Structure 1
């Protein structure tokens, strides 16, 4: 009986450890808050609150009747500007922005950082950097995939208003159907 319980505990520990994957740790990324919970529902909120490193597909599995049309899981995993007004970063054109990724579990895929207009969820600048392959499981992960810099171009007034734009790190591992993203609210 002890062996069976130990084996089960090991399986549960391994399964639990594979939930966490990666986020921007610097500059300050969007965090879950009350507005996110209101538009996406408490089930999605609890999923993200318990593990911000998780993938967007896990959120999709938790869509239910409390999830409103305002919940944009494909933009910053649904995390909202309204919950992050204190974290807006101002970057003049040609500012070099150091970015740190906290990676907890690699999955081979592709990754990039772009400036995205939040009203349309469209890339308006970038990719500013890209990696292909990214976060490989078959080779050591290069240091420049978890600590790198991007240069913010002239955004021609598109990001003058807080909440209009994000600097988005996007990582897609197609072989396992998992997508990760983190957003930093920016103005220029």
Structure 2
């Protein structure tokens, strides 16, 4: 019995250590809520709510009968504006926006920040900044990869409706087949 307990505890600690990776810590990013749970199901919600640093592939691996077509994990990690209306930002044309990234576990890959239209999951502008390599495991992470600014371009009326546009930080670590993203809702 003791051996089983040690084995379970070891597996649990390994699982929890592999979950945490990276998110936008500022400005306020989309967080999980009731609309996300309704779209993606309680199991996926529980995973994201307990560790918001995780990757889209982990969410996808836990899709089940509760997961609906509204669960778009490759758009803002599936997180929805309906849960985040209070986090809406207002960015004017050519405004410089400081961004802070919290990296819990680096994985060498590429990363960028773009303006994405959430109604079509298409890039409207960007990348506004691009890192290659990003969050390397072989060298210290440069400070400008975790604290940087982007200039929001003039998007005309494309981003005048709340919930349509996001600044999306996207990090793809192909070496481990994991993708991370965070979204900041904004209007212009």
Indicate the TM-score class for this superposition, using the shorter chain for normalisation: over 0.9
* Unaligned 5+ runs, structure 2: none
Give distance in 1, aligned partners of 2:98 and 2:91: 12
Tell me by how many angstroms 1:6 deviates: 6.2
Is 1:128 aligned to residue 128 of structure 2?
yes
Runs of 4+ in 1 over 3 A off after TM superposition: 1-12
Q: 1:82 to 1:7 in 2, by over 3 A?
A: closer
1:92-127 CA distances to partner (integer Å, 9 max, x unpaired)? 001000000010000000000000000100000000
Greater mean alpha carbon deviation, residues 42-51 or residues 14-23: 14-23
> Who is 2:26 aligned against?
26
What's the CA shift for 1:89? Answer: 0.3
Q: Does 1:162 align with 2:150?
A: no
Is 1:82 aligned with 2:82? yes
Pairwise CA distance, 1:25: 0.3
Count of residue pairs the alignment pairs up? 188
CA displacement, residues 146-169 of structure 1 (integer Å, 9 cap, x when unaligned)? 000000000111000000100000
Cα 1:11–1:72, aligned 2, differ >3 Å: closer, same or farther? closer
- RMSD of aligned alpha carbons: 1.7
Unpaired segments ≥5 residues, structure 1: none
Shift of 1:175: 1.0
Aligned residue in 2 for 1:56: 56
TM-score (norm 2): 0.95
